[in-house]
Chain A
């Protein structure tokens, strides 16, 4: 079974540039989550979608961050303009809501470095 697929694996760019991170959830999963992981703050939830609809974006740090889920098999997280403090590993996770006690499954993450 294919897991959660994220791209790119690594991204290095200069501050001010637009960054787009991509995620393909596991087929059949109807909830999708974007996280950011740093040494200082650990794993933080940024936003999550249920059935392609954004439900809670209270974790999105600033207006520079935006996320979309145009269909059940694709989501993007965009940062525009990027800043050095955005450097982190960004994870996408998905979950099947139907049935009980289903865990979130994580992708391998995108390591983002803003110079």
Chain B
């Protein structure tokens, strides 16, 4: 059975801290790994990773995939209260209609 596991489950930090969120997966026919941010409503797309070792960056957020270790990390530097959200990792499978299998998410709270 395909499985995506995220850690930690939750995290509380103060503004300015750097955080690292983890995602590991056990799936057949891996195609890509995606990160989403969910505040109160819709999950919003952050990154899609297909190649190992290539960092994707958007402002203070960055992510990298390690296909050998079957994992990915999402880094957030200089955190702000607006970064408080649930961060979801999902794995897209080949030949499965691009279906996504989601992890349980990491709930991040950034305190002022």
The residues of A with any CB-CB pair to B shorter than 8 Å are 3-4, 31, 33, 42-45, 48, 50, 55-56, 91, 95, 97, 101, 103-109
Contact = CB atoms under 8 A, between A and B. Distances in A.
Given A3-B42, A106-B36, A108-B42, 10 more contacts: A31-B98, A42-B103, A43-B43, A43-B102, A55-B97, A56-B99, A103-B45, A104-B98, A105-B45, A109-B42
26 contacts: A31-B97, A33-B100, A42-B102, A42-B103, A42-B105, A43-B88, A43-B102, A43-B105, A48-B99, A55-B97, A56-B96, A56-B97, A91-B43, A97-B98, A101-B32, A101-B48, A101-B50, A103-B34, A103-B45, A104-B98, A106-B36, A106-B42, A106-B44, A107-B42, A109-B41, A109-B42
Interface in B70-112: 88, 90, 96-105
Nearest to B31: A101
Which of B34, B99, B104 has the most A CB atoms < 10 Å from its CB? B99
A81 B32 CA distance: 37
Contacts of B88: 43
Main secondary structure of the interface of A (DSSP, over half): strand
B43 A106 contact: yes
Nearest to B42: A106
Which of B50, B98, B103 has the most A CB atoms < 10 Å from its CB? B98
A91 B42 contact: yes
A50 B103 CA distance: 24
Contacts of B41: 108-109
Contacts of A4: 42
